[in-house]
Structure 1
Amino acid sequence: MPADQIPDSGGDSSEWPWHKERWLKRQPRVWLIDDCVEDRTLVNRAIGKLVELQVFHTGASVLHAIAKLSDPTATSTPTSPDMLLLDFRMPRLSGPETLERLRSLEAGQLTPVIVFSSSAAQTDIESSYAAGCNSYVTKPSGWDDYRRTLRAVIRYWLDVSE
């Protein structure tokens, strides 16, 4: 289904029982790294009203932002993410290459990274775990399953990392 035909997430907080306590402090921050505009749109529609979503189009751009988190000379510093959603197949720096570099940076060592990919190939899964991902999730094809899966993964990792 084309991204422009997917219904909005609606931000139904009843699906997020933990949100009330957490949102009293602040909205969870999720960074999405994906080169595909359609996939970015789907993720935004699924969780955009439930989390503070920051989008990066390349591995290099997220590595630059992560490096700024621990740079005392940076004039503007991004807000540290609670978790990252990383696409596997990207031009220039792939998901695993981005992840290996991310894990080498001090500010990128402890943040949960979930590879969210359309690939279910065992070699892709293994290379993602070898690079340091916390979880590998294959994107479901139907909208309801996509939204439900993405929300469950985020809910789990935000609870675990708290």
Structure 2
Amino acid sequence: MSQSSSSDSVSLLLVEDNPGDVRLIKEAFKSAGFATTFHTVSDGDAALEFLREHAASETSPDLILLDLNLPKTSGFEVLEGIRDDPKLPSVPVLVLTSSAATEDVVKSYELCANAYLTKPTDPDEFADIGRAVEAFWIDEATLPPLPS
């Protein structure tokens, strides 16, 4: 990642309404072995509010992990809100959802998601997700600079 390395803390906005999945995702990133600061919200309204509040600050997340099936504002609506608001930072959005439906994948990419990951059914496989995100999005990809 251009603005930090895996030895630095990575800031993630986790948008997930299932407390069990929140726990599994946090454990997966911890087991992947890099320092992660999680900001967790449980609905789409709170995600957009968080992004607007932190848009021009050092607390803007490096990555967003977004579930699609959320109360209030859906994950698709969050993607639309991010895409349509020029004041929001250009933060990569990784859809992490239980849906493997082709139409959800297509719609997510149409709304500018950067990746689409299907949640594993086996809790032990969540660690693979953490390692995969670290390997590509943290260690290899060059991300846009944080706002100044």
TM-score of the superposition, structure 1-length normalised? 0.74
In the other structure, the counterpart of 1:118 is: 98
After superposition, the C-alpha distances for 1:132-153 in whole angstroms (9 at most, x for unaligned) are 1000011112233221123212
Letter in 1 for 2:51: I
Please, which runs of 5 or more residues in structure 1 have no aligned partner?
Answer: 1-17, 72-76
In the other structure, the counterpart of 1:160 is: 141
Counterparts of 1:125-140 in structure 2, within 5 Å, are 125-140=105-120
In the other structure, the counterpart of 2:146 is: none
Q: How many residues align?
A: 137
* Segments of 4+ moved more than 4 angstroms: none
Please, which runs of 5 or more residues in structure 2 have no aligned partner?
Answer: 144-148
Which piece of structure 1 moves more, 85-94 or 149-158? 149-158
Alpha carbons 1:88, 1:117 under 8 Å: kept: yes
- Higher gyration radius (CA): 1
Distance 1:137 1:38, change over 3 A: same
TM-score of the superposition, structure 2-length normalised? 0.81
The percent of aligned pairs where both chains have the same amino acid is: 30
Q: CA deviation at 1:23?
A: 5.2
Distance 1:120 1:23, change over 3 A: closer
Which piece of structure 1 moves more, 140-149 or 56-65? 140-149
Select the structure that is richer in helix: 1
Counterparts of 1:3-152 in structure 2, within 5 Å, are 22=5, 26-48=8-30, 50=34, 51-70=36-55, 79-152=59-132
* CA RMSD between the two structures: 2.2
Q: Relative contact order (C-alpha < 8 Å, sep 6+): which is higher?
A: 2
Could you tell me how far apart the structure 2 residues matched to 1:161 and 1:43 are? 23
